[in-house]
Amino acid sequence: MSECVVTRRAEFSASHRYWLPALSDDENARRFGPCAKFPGHGHNYVLYVSMVGQIDDYGMVLNLSEVKQTIAREVISDLNFSYLNTAWPEFQETLPTTENIARVIWQRLAPHLPLVNIQLYEHPKLWADYQGNGMHACLTIGTHFSAAHRLALARLSQEENTAIYGKCARPNGHGHNYHLEVTVSGEMDAQTGAIVDLDALLAAINHHVIEPMDHTFLNKDIPFFAEVVPTAENIAAYIQACLTLPVRTLGVELHRIKLYESPNNSCEVYGPSLQPIAALADRVAVSV
């Protein structure tokens, strides 16, 4: 019988502070910003514990009541309403960033459960995934932009475009509130627990994607889409190309771009782009 992955959800509320004793007050403030303020700040964390196994004669991979008790005993009882920096010894060695908390939760649960992924939400627009690979983790940022587009190929008639794209081919276009998820992967710093400077990553996403694309008519305002139909799939691939090199300069790799065009439609592309944005621009210039 095929293996099956099951996931159990849990929650805890806790506070933490980003602070390295070896640094001065000013150095900590420069490095961690508001997160260095005393006595810290808090989050309502949401935890997803994913496990794998064979389906047994009772139709289960694991007894989820027992899984719930294990998570409560090994994780929630210690972390709920705690100050994370002192809750577990591991956080005195490496700061309790979202990605490091996920890593240590894995270590605590791995002797008891057949884990395949720990996913920890610090915020609905910030979460980490950890799969037991040393100090390697993924971090996801959610953001959004609004834009209009028209789906049509210039070489086709309006009737032909309508046959392919339906209402999306109407001459004056239409708009969406796009939700974007950017996932990067890398190694956690042994002291800070971070795989990337979060503010720098946010700045890169805003500079290379959000500011240029927000409140635009993609076909007219983004040169790439003068020749390429701005479907959700092509927009996701374009964003992947825009971010591949800027993300790499921050010391991490682009892992995934997920774009929601609407609550009903989304698409994902994985890994760094094989054609960073300069190559895509050259391709459009040649085609024009």
CA distance to 20, 67, 190, 202, per residue, from 126 (Å): 23, 25, 21, 11
C-alpha dist (Å) from residue 173 to 210, 233, 259: 20, 17, 19
Q: Which of 173, 127, 182 is nearest to 146 (CA)?
A: 173
Catalytic hit among 136, 168, 227, 253: 168
Sign of the dihedral defined by the CA atoms of residues 143, 146, 147, 151, in that order: positive
Q: How many residues does the chain have?
A: 288
Taking Cα atoms as reference points, which of 42, 45, 34 lies closest to residue 10? 45
Q: Is 168 among the catalytic positions? A: yes
Instruction: Specify whether 267 is catalytic.
Output: no
The answer to whether the peptide bond before residue 39 is cis (omega within 30 degrees of 0) is yes
**Active-site pick, 74, 122, 181, 261:** 261
* Active-site residue, from 112, 211, 215, 268: 215
Distances (CA, A) of 144 to 13, 106, 213: 26, 31, 10
Residues 114-117: contacts with CB under 8 Å, at least 24 apart: 114/51, 114/52, 114/53, 114/62, 115/49, 115/50, 115/51, 115/52, 116/5, 116/50, 116/51, 116/52, 117/48, 117/50
- CA separation for the pair 241, 225 (Å, rounded): 13
Q: Is 138 a residue of the active site?
A: no
Active site residues: 168, 215, 261
